Structure 1
Amino acid sequence: MALYGFFQTVKGDCSGLSIVDATPLAVCDNLRIKRHRVFQGLAERGKSSTGWFFGFKLHAIINHRGELLSIFLTSGNGDDRKPVPHLAKALFGQLYADKGYISKTLLQQLKEKGIAFITRVRRNMKPLEHTEFDNAILRKRSLVETVFDQLKNMCQIEHTRHRSPQNFIINLLGGIVAYCLTPSKPKLALYCSNIVTL
């Protein structure tokens, strides 16, 4: 609780331009799932863009400066869209997401909060008219992947040697706080006519 409370003091501020995504946190190798006992009843098997994993999902919203605004942890088989209303409680402006977040219900929930939810469309959907700025931000959604990469490789929030769920949570929050305190973060430099990733 102390680490989570500290995160609330060092997290970023909403700038009106936010990006939401989720990343898998594997807690054991796939070959050892049947023998795994530490997270029995807590972790679940899920599938990400890189394949199957056993563990949890870390859902996060960042601003254009690469700062974490809110986080949420679910089991590996959770629906990415469910935590978004909770994550977006203190947001305003635009929230950008990938196609996996498309949902009329979610769009309406965020609209009621005054948040414009912007995603690309699937092939079988009618095309949506986005502004040139929105299209540019959607092309730069890789910023959130860079943040996740730093969380996993520099702050080491993911490994498969946990000996208790408490150890997992402390390691996760410790890594997240360490990232928040990092002076140099990946960010988007916003100009009048173009957007650059720094």
Structure 2
Amino acid sequence: MLSLTRLFCDVDDFCKTFLPHWEKTQIENGEKKRRKKRCISPSEIITLIVYYHQSGYDTFKWFYLRYLPKNLSKAFPKVPSYNRFIELLPDIIGPLTAFMQTRCGRSEGIAFVDSTPLCVCKNIRIPRHKTFKDVAQRGKSSTGWFYGFKLHIIVDDRGEILSFSITKGNVDDRKPVPKLAKNLIGKLFGDRGYISKKLTELLATDDVELITTLKKNMKPRVIAAFDALLLRKRSIIETINDQLKNIFQLEHSRHRSLTNYMINIVACLVAYSYQEKKPALNLRREDLLPLL
């Protein structure tokens, strides 16, 4: 399990540098605000919300009310009530997202792109769903129709997340790719949902080669043997999506606000970034380096 001390030190060091500059950019309405010192710092809030995703608990409320008092009371002796903690969460969405950006890996020539649906409720309950009304949208994935959002991620062959984006469920998978691939180099592998001549040419201007599988009605093409092998290894990103959903509680239907929903997604990605053994292709062996 993730080391609580290591996580807090990383978060606290980041917040000490980031928060003073970030607070200066916040727009105020000119009214005087009472800045009463809180019993829990932003670093502690981020640490707890990320640590929850590594705890194995299905709900944060049970983690906060049952696990925290029994196991983390010495590390967090002055935590507020559960309701007050939830009220404080929106304040850390900016620092948390920025911290995740620092946890993203650096491109080294091989990357895989994919999206995964994030359902906010079952299809039969869409007419009664109110929390994300007019925000979530219906979309279609390889498993069928869903209602909610999409998480788009790019990962490397070591299982490190290179970039991520959250969109509505009806957004085309190809739309966020140019922004996601902004800092990439080398080759980007995707499934047939990313087939696009315009996108391929756009990425080529940034020296990124988009390689995708073909649809059944498309003519076969000649590609390098190593590229064909990597296309067959795209399942690494599907494995990562599976871990995010089944180990780190990425997807559930208990959210009550959009802000806290986004915090849950980003905190889940941060928790995954600390996982010691990530899905990997073991391509960095000496015998394979010439192919890279």
**TM-score normalised over the length of structure 2:** 0.65
1:164-196 superposed Cα distances (whole Å, 9 cap, x missing partner)? 1011011111101000111110011115778xx
C-alpha displacement of 1:18: 0.2
SS of corresponding position for 1:162: coil
Structure 1 gaps, min length 5 = none
Cα distance between partner residues in 1 of 2:233 and 2:114: 13
Of residues 35, 38, 55, the one that matches 2:148 is 55
User: As a proportion of its length, which structure holds more helix?
Assistant: 2
Match of 1:10 in 2: 103
SS of corresponding position for 1:55: strand
1:65 and 2:158 correspond: yes
1:60-91 superposed Cα distances (whole Å, 9 cap, x missing partner)? 00000001000011111110000000000000
C-alpha displacement of 1:13: 1.4
Contact 1:44–1:76 (CA under 8 A) maintained in structure 2: yes
1:78 and 2:171 correspond: yes
Identity within the alignment, %: 52
Match of 1:116 in 2: 209
Of residues 260, 270, 275, the one that matches 1:177 is 270
Contact 1:65–1:186 (CA under 8 A) maintained in structure 2: yes
Structure 2 gaps, min length 5 = 1-93
Match of 1:25 in 2: 118
Cα distance between partner residues in 1 of 2:189 and 2:139: 23
Match of 2:246 in 1: 153
Cα distance between partner residues in 1 of 2:103 and 2:214: 35
Q: Which has the higher contact order (CA 8 A, sep 6+)?
A: 1
Cα distance between partner residues in 2 of 1:47 and 1:193: 41
Describe how 1:127-138 pairs up with structure 2 within 5 A: 127-138=220-231
SS of corresponding position for 2:270: helix
1:40 and 2:133 correspond: yes
Distance change (3 Å), C-alpha of 1:28 and 1:99: same
SS of corresponding position for 1:52: strand
1:27-53 superposed Cα distances (whole Å, 9 cap, x missing partner)? 111111000011011100111111111
Q: Which moved more, 1:126-135 or 1:137-146?
A: 126-135
The letter of the residue matching 2:223 is: H
Cα distance between partner residues in 2 of 1:9 and 1:192: 29
The letter of the residue matching 1:28 is: C
**TM-score normalised over the length of structure 1:** 0.95
The letter of the residue matching 2:265 is: L
1:128-165 superposed Cα distances (whole Å, 9 cap, x missing partner)? 21111001101110000000011111111110010010
1:103-147 superposed Cα distances (whole Å, 9 cap, x missing partner)? 000000000010111112222222221111001101110000000
SS of corresponding position for 1:170: helix
Tell me how large the CA RMSD over aligned residues is.
1.2
Larger radius of gyration: 2
User: As a proportion of its length, which structure holds more strand?
Assistant: 1
Cα distance between partner residues in 1 of 2:275 and 2:224: 33
Contact 1:15–1:64 (CA under 8 A) maintained in structure 2: no
